[in-house]
Amino acid sequence: MQLRDRLNTGLKQAMRDKDATRLGTLRLINAALKDQDIALRAEGREVGDAEATAILAKMVKQRQESARAYEEGGRLELADKEREEIAVIEEFLPRQLSEEEAKAAIDAAIAETNASSLRDMGAVMGILKSRHSGQMDFGAAGAAVKARLA
């Protein structure tokens, strides 16, 4: 089932369950996807599943930063609300790779590109992003690739 279909099914279920937090979060996701659809209209295309996954990952990251800021400011109720939204968004993201799986993916990408120096880091990251979009933290993966190639 495609991501948009899963989102619409989840939205309908949240309406039936009268789950305000889930409903609001799913509406925010739909709004973000529609905004991107409008931006891509000039190219004559819509947001695909890979792009939608990237949008969802960005939304999770934004909420994590907000939750951290709220905690530092002593606004724990707002931090909890952000975490609830993160939980809803993550339901629609692919399963995250474990640390071992991420290391194996990095090793495979390095072997495939015959990377030997930091100059090859872009090619390695390109392969990782194409194969594991939404499944790994590319900030951490970049640091791991850099450490391996240094």
Q: Give, in order, the Cα–Cα distances in Å from 134 to each of 72, 82, 96.
A: 28, 20, 7
Domain 3-90: CATH superfamily is: Uncharacterised protein YqeY/AIM41, N-terminal domain (1.10.1510.10)
3-state secondary structure of 80: helix
Contact 49, 2 (CB under 8 A): yes
Is the overall model pTM greater than 0.75, yes or no?
A: no
Contact 38, 29 (CB under 8 A): no
Contact 125, 105 (CB under 8 A): no
Q: Domain 99-149 is of which CATH architecture?
A: Orthogonal Bundle (1.10)
Q: Write down the pLDDT at residue 1.
A: 54
Encode pLDDT of 4-48 as tens digits: 899 999 999 999 999 999 999 999 999 999 999 998 888 888 888
**Residue ranges of the domains in the chain?**
3-90, 99-149
Region for 47 from its dihedrals, namely left if φ exceeds 0, alpha if ψ lies in -120 to 50, beta otherwise: beta
Encode pLDDT of 95-104 as tens digits: 888 888 888 8
Which of the pair, 78 or 54, is modelled with greater confidence?
78
**What DSSP assignment string belongs to 87-113?**
HHHHTTSPPPPPHHHHHHHHHHHHHHH
Encode pLDDT of 63-109 as tens digits: 999 999 999 999 999 999 999 999 999 898 888 888 888 888 888 88
pLDDT beyond 80 at 60:
yes
Q: How far apart are CA 148 and CA 115, in angstroms?
A: 10
